[in-house]
């Protein structure tokens, strides 16, 4: 574990609240897309874990998932990963195409990419409002594969070389359309410190 | 009938916008998947209205708006993006966009906006 990644309980609370408000905003967007279906959100989980353990947070390395990945660039830099089980992704495609598509065809993949884009952007909109600073987002990339393979590729693409990463995971679920998933925020380097600093708090050295 | 160019990198969003527009009497004359295509298609098709996403590969929507407005100061461009941050809205309007719609949106919001520029 790297010393500069150490985090105290106050900072964990800040990140939890950011996860809460950010995904709260994102689930409003998702709910509007799903014709106002109620979306249940869990308390955000802030963890400092080894890269190898990350797939376990989403059901294990062999779980088939759909992931939409992008990078946020602003006062702080971090990665946004919108992840859901394959079954939930298929249910979203079915719901948003009104039953016309139920597979990962090119239109189906485009649906998931756009949902991931809107959810990630909604998170950034909330963060921008809270910190009074602007964030840009790279065009999201969609991958459908086993969780371990996808996360490994994302961490390689993101050039994450640390053994451990600090991440904020917020999970949600719906009943009518049977959809569950999560948004994972992986701060990049100084990203976390800057977010906490912007909110006027000193990060423990 | 107003001719519209849709610029969005997601096929699903282009299809959704096209359905909304065509149901309301607009003619979608072209679709662009990034900012570069948006500039090229604007020159080629001379649409009366453009819907423009911001986060797109190769060239983002704000850079595309600046280039289109530079060549045609009368261009009527409405931004349609999930990035609803105040600073980005101001940047897009300063670049020459006429309106800014945050995704997800209701079909009426799109039509109400476009009607203002006919």
Count how many domains chain B has. Answer: 1
- pLDDT tens per residue across span B74-111: 999 999 999 999 999 999 999 999 999 999 888 899 99
- pLDDT at residue B61, as a whole number: 97
Name the residue in chain A with its Cα closest to that of B11: A110
B103/A121 CB distance under 8 A: yes
Which has more confidence, A110 or A51?
A: A110
Which has more confidence, B18 or A185?
A: B18
Report the CATH number at residue B12. 3.40.50.2300
Q: pTM of this prediction?
A: 0.86
User: Within the 57-96 window of chain A, which residues sit less than 8 Å (CB to CB) from chain B?
Assistant: 96
Which has more confidence, A184 or B47?
A: B47
Mean of the pLDDT values across residues A57-68?
Answer: 91
B85/A124 CB distance under 8 A: yes
> For testing the chain B interface, which of A93, A108, A139, A142 should be mutated: the one with the most B CBs within 10 Å?
A139
Mean of the pLDDT values across residues A159-171?
Answer: 75
Q: Please give the mean pLDDT across all residues of chain A.
A: 82
Which has more confidence, A187 or B36?
A: B36
Contacts of B9 in chain A (CB under 8 A): 139
Residue B35: domain span? 3-115
- pLDDT at residue A3, as a whole number: 46
Mean of the pLDDT values across residues B41-61?
Answer: 96
* Terminal CA-CA length for chain B: 9
Q: Which of B11, B84, B86 sits opposite A107 (nearest CB)?
A: B11
Which of A30-39, A170-179, B19-28 has the highest mean predicted lDDT (pLDDT)? B19-28
Domains in chain A (CATH in brackets) are 3-198 (3.40.1550.10)
A125/B57 CB distance under 8 A: no
Q: Which of B55, B86, B87 sits opposite A137 (nearest CB)?
A: B55
Contact B104, B74 (CB under 8 A): no
Mean of the pLDDT values across residues A127-139?
Answer: 87
């Amino acid at each position: 574990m790297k010393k500069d990644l150490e985090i105290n309980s106050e900072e964990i609370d800040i990140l939890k609240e950011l996860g809460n408000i950010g995904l709260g905003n994102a689930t409003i967007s998702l709910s509007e897309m799903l014709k106002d279906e109620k979306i249940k959100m869990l308390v955000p989980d802030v963890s400092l874990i080894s890269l190898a353990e990350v797939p376990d947070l989403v059901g294990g390395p062999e779980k088939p998932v759909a992931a939409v990945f992008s990078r946020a660039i602003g006062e702080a830099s971090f990665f946004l990963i919108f992840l859901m089980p394959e079954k939930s992704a298929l249910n979203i495609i079915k719901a948003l195409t009104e039953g016309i598509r139920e597979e990962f065809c090119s239109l189906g993949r485009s649906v998931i990419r756009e949902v991931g884009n809107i959810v990630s952007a909604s998170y950034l909109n909330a963060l921008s409002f809270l910190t009074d600073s602007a964030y840009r987002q790279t065009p999201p990339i969609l991958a459908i594969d086993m969780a371990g393979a996808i996360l490994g590729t994302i961490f390689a693409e993101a050039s994450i070389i640390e053994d451990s990463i600090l991440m904020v995971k917020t999970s949600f679920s719906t009943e009518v359309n049977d959809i569950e998933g999560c948004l994972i925020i992986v701060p990049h380097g100084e990203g976390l410190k800057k977010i906490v600093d912007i909110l006027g708090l000193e990060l423990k050295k | 009938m107003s001719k519209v160019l849709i610029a969005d990198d997601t096929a699903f969003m282009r299809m959704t916008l096209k359905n909304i527009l065509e149901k309301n009497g607009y003619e979608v004359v072209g679709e662009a998947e990034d900012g570069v295509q948006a500039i090229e298609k604007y020159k080629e098709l001379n649409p009366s209205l453009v819907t423009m996403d911001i986060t797109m590969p190769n060239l983002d929507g704000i850079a595309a708006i600046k280039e289109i407005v530079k060549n045609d100061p009368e261009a009527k461009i409405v931004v349609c993006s999930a990035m609803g941050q105040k600073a980005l809205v101001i940047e897009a309007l300063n670049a020459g966009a006429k309106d800014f719609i945050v995704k997800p949106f209701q079909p009426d919001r799109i039509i109400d906006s476009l009607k203002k520029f006919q």
